[in-house]
């Protein structure tokens, strides 16, 4: 088993890189999907969120009201840290379980953990390679405006709320340039896959 950490800022093209790696044969575990799963109704994390932030963040059907929770934690560093202290350990536990399942199914599996906030957190030692989907901040802001309909001000806030480009590059073993065309990104991913499979078979 080889465990790859794939990270990148918002609108960096990280999900595109993950899909390309999956097409090459990688097993992709998506941290964002896990973060949703760990707060499903009835989970310990959702109960802790309710205790911490109140009934206002819970829909009538018992599910998490993400929009309401977002209004509480956005711009409030203390509240965001409280939320992260609840969600992040649950995500790590579930991710570890998924890695083990993939390795049990195929001991030679190349597992890609798609995790946006890797540079913002303590870098786990278990990654064999950390890959960064890298596009300049102004490119990512433009994508948020043109592709997701955000205002320029909101796009800038979201980009600036994350780790800096330098912080991400500092932890990366491999940098995939995602600022250009899809074909260019695909060629870089293919080069990465060749490197990973060569290492895996060494």
pTM of the model: 0.88
Q: So what's the pLDDT on residue 202?
A: 46
Q: Mean per-residue pLDDT for 95-113?
A: 96
Look up residue 30 and give its DSSP letter: E
The answer on pLDDT for 54 being more than 70 is: yes
Pairing of strands 174-177, 129-134: parallel
What's the CATH number for 2-200?
3.40.50.300
Q: Residue 18 in contact with residue 28, Cβ under 8 Å?
A: yes
Count of beta carbons in the 10 Å neighbourhood of residue 196:
22
The domain segmentation of the chain, as residue ranges, is 2-200
Q: Per residue in 165-197, pLDDT tens?
A: 899 999 999 999 999 999 999 999 999 999 999
User: Which helix H or strand E contains 50, and what residues bound it?
Assistant: helix 44-53
Q: What tokens were used for 198?
A: 């060569």
Reading phi first (left if > 0) and then psi (alpha if -120 to 50, else beta), residue 64 is in: beta
Q: Per residue in 118-176, pLDDT tens?
A: 887 765 558 999 999 999 999 999 999 999 999 999 899 889 888 888 999 999 999 99
Give the span between the Cα atoms of 49 and 44, in whole angstroms. Answer: 9
């Amino acid at each position: 088993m080889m465990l790859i950490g794939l990270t990148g800022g918002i609108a960096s093209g990280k999900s595109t890189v993950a899909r390309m790696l999956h097409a090459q044969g990688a097993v992709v575990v998506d941290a964002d999907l896990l973060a949703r799963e760990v707060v499903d109704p009835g989970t310990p994390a959702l109960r802790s969120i309710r205790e911490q932030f109140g009934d206002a963040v819970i829909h009538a059907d018992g599910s998490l009201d993400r929009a309401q929770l977002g209004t509480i934690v956005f711009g409030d560093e203390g509240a965001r840290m409280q939320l992260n202290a609840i969600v992040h350990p649950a995500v790590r536990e579930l991710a570890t379980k998924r890695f083990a399942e993939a390795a049990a199914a195929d001991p030679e599996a190349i597992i890609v953990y798609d995790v946006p906030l890797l540079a913002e957190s303590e870098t786990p030692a278990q990654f064999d390679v950390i890959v960064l989907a890298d596009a300049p901040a102004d490119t990512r802001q433009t994508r948020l405006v043109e592709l997701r309909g955000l205002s320029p001000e909101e796009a800038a806030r979201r980009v600036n709320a994350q780790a800096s480009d330098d912080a991400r590059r500092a932890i990366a073993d491999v940098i995939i340039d995602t600022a250009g065309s899809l074909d260019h990104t695909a060629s870089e991913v293919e080069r990465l896959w060749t490197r990973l499979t060569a290492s895996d078979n060494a």
